[in-house]
Amino acid sequence: MKNVRILGPGCKRCVATAEMARQAASELGIEIALEKITDYAAIAAYGIAATPGVVVDGRVVHAGGLPRSEDMAKWLAA
């Protein structure tokens, strides 16, 4: 199981990023534990200045703007 954290205040892009992660996991047939982090101090602890951020298994893979769905699938499959 992959641990996925979406970092952001809960804006539309953050919600879309979380849904993108769910969709990619479903298409890949893998389970994910999805957590949304909205606390600014917790987000800053990852070194992210722009949201949404994506953290997969403790590693920051994306920050700022909506990620591409093919990239999300690549990060989850790795």
Residues 6+ apart with CB under 8 A from 38: 8, 9, 10
Q: Where are the domains of the chain?
A: 2-77
**Joined tokens for residue 21:** 């992660």
Place of tokens 């769905």: 69
- CATH number belonging to domain 2-77: 3.40.30.10
pLDDT of amino acid 7:
98
Q: What is the pLDDT of residues 15-73, one digit of tens each?
A: 999 999 999 999 999 999 999 999 999 999 999 989 999 999 999 999 999 999 999 99
With 0-12 / 13-18 / 19 or more C-beta atoms within 10 angstroms meaning exposed / middle / buried, residue 8 is buried
Query: What letters, b where the CB count within 10 A reaches 16 and e where it falls short, cover 23-62?
Result: ebbeeeeeebeeebbeeeeebeebebeebbbbbbeeeebb
Cα separations (Å) of 33 from 49, 50? 24, 23
